[in-house]
Amino acid sequence: MLLGTVCVTFMAWGGHYTRHIGHVTKMAQDHLPWGVVVPFIVITVLLNKIIQKIRPSAMLSRAELLVIFGMASIGSALPSYFMAHMLANIAAPYYFPTPENSWAAELHPNLVDWAVVTDRVAAKWFYEGLPAGASIPWSAWSTPLFWRLSLVGAIGCFCYSAVAMLRKQWVEHERLTFPLMTLPLAMSTREPQGFFPVGILNLPIFWLGFAFAIFPILWNMIGYFVPVFPTIPRQFGHLSLGREFPPIQTRFYPLIIGVSYFIELEISFSIIIYFLLLTLETGILTRLGFELGPPRGDTSQFENWQGLGALCVLIPWGLWMARGHLYEVYRKAIHRDPSIDDSGELLSYRTALYTWILSGLFILAWCVASGMTLYFATVFLFFVLIVWLGISRISIETGLISSRTIHAQFATVHVVDLANATPSSLVALAMTRTWHRDLKTALMAPMANSVRLFDEVRSDRTRLTIAVAIAVAVVAGGSAYYAISAGYSTGAYNYGGIYAGSVQGTFDRAVGYIKDPFGLDRELALWSLLGVATAVANMAIRYAHPSFPLHPIGFVSATTYPANQSIFSLFIAWFAKQAILRFGGIGLYRRAAPFFMGLMLGYFTGVGISFIVDCIWFPGEGHHLSLY
């Protein structure tokens, strides 16, 4: 727990520093970030080796290592994107008003004072830096920070209790693969024995994959010092099917190839096929003159709506399939049924159910108190739950490094008639774009992945729950303190992005909805029906013909960003795994696994070295090795 706390403290600092100050590879922006893996490499390889030399009996056990990784992984969801959006959302409303944007007339009357910084001087100093001799006006931040961080705590309780109730269904009944957790599980194993305390590092094939991934990074680092030095590209152009068809990226990512090797073949194949079908659909419908929303840069509305439609089928269906298990949860929680054993769960079913209900009610009450009507808040939170469960399911089943689908706010304003929505509901909805904004860092996803790591320590669930609570509290509180202090020191407006254009766009959109409630093109939401039909058809065919090679989760994943950026690397991994299993069977598959883990660790080690080089020689002018 102490080492896990050190890791999340590092994350609380690094999440803000790497994105907004150092301008290096972002430490926390996906479900398997380098800010988690690099410290874990140091602990498992270096620290454990030192302990082995001094006192072998005191080496960190497998269970202890997995708790450290789980704490860091859960904490990684909050710094950088999550907390930056929150702090910008708190400070912006009274800094950016102009006669042109109408914030004073349309926004301020509908804002609740306890959720934002109303002191204009405090907001100005945050964005422009403290004048000489002034101190940080913490009193202006205390109330909004208290209520915003209390909401983060409720979200943490909501997500953790949800995954505690679903753990047995995912791990034991459905036997999902959790590809992203393959690496920490392997790094916590000492077999085969050798010089390194991490077993896979003692295999020559591991170092082949490691060298293959790290060599291009080290080679390209020469270009940091010699700009004219030739670099090894990661992008090999685009494949185009013709005019109006979205280009297919050919980016080569060793990390994606390494992770994707551990995805089930039918799922990776499904993502590839559905991605190609979506590309064909987009091109054909565009040529026929249909309006599909913005073109694919991130992802188009056409893809977003189809993905949401599919999730609205798959998530309820998945809960229906888990009805037997959920009924047992209910019987144990409400009736204390002695025939049901929950002693090996993350929380007792009674604690999990009541925590889930109470934290959910707190989130609902927070939304209503901030200005939403009860109906508006209920619709919004329904979509939030669908999206969170969907992102979690995609993460633990497909192994995608990150997933970004449609925002619940966007879905809500299309479903609810804006002409009947109150202005305060729309402004309150803008404030939720702090904790439900960048879905690559949705808190439920790393918690869902961590249940696979916690299998060996579930019997000590009290301390495990404390460890998770520490991870959330330290990262949320620590990153808030550091980011606010850094803003007053250097001026948050200099960070741009989240602190400037992004947060302005959030409130400009709310004002636009208030001024023109009939301007929204709600017809685009009808594309969700195509997603519903595709998911239902896929499930029906698989029910009738279990050998059907396409899986519906592949369709949902193909509609998300950044699947469209990594499809080439995913194809390489699928092809390699297919060939290995075809010609060498399961034995060769297992012998080849360390090579693909080497690809992952080689990439992460290279990023860590690049980070150190940037901090020493290029402070504030670093280099990006981000996947997206």
String of DSSP letters for 293-332: SS-SSS--HHHHHHHHHHHHHHHHHHHHHTHHHHHHHHHH
Q: CB count, 10 Å around CB of 590?
A: 11
pLDDT, position 294: 62
Indicate the SS3 state at residue 261: coil
SS3 content of the chain, % helix, strand, coil (to 5): 70, 0, 25
Task: For the full predicted model, state whether its pTM sits above 0.85.
Answer: yes
Taking CA atoms, 578 is separated from 128, 138, 176, 505, 583, in Å, by 56, 58, 20, 45, 9
Collect the ranges in the chain with pLDDT lower than 70: 293-299, 627-628
Give the separation between CA 592 and CA 94, rounded to whole angstroms. Answer: 57
- Non-local CB neighbours of 432 within 8 Å, separated by 6+ positions: 367, 380, 409
Q: Are 441 and 80 in contact, with CB atoms under 8 Å apart?
A: yes
Instruction: Tell me how crowded residue 626 is: count the other CB atoms within 10 A of its CB.
Output: 14
Exposure on the CB side of residue 207, measured as CA atoms within 13 A: 7
Report the C-alpha gap between 268 and 550 in whole angstroms. 9
Residue closest to 436 by CA, chosen among 501, 363, 369, 370 = 363
| 69 touches 8 (CB < 8 A) | no
Secondary element (H or E) of residue 275: helix 265-287
**Rounded Cα distance, 15 and 78, in Å:** 8
Cα 146 from Cα 152, distance rounded (Å): 10
Measure the CA–CA gap between 85 and 436, rounded to whole angstroms: 10
State how far the Cα of 182 lies from the Cα of 453, in Å rounded to an integer: 10
Q: What is the pLDDT, as a whole number, of residue 627?
A: 62
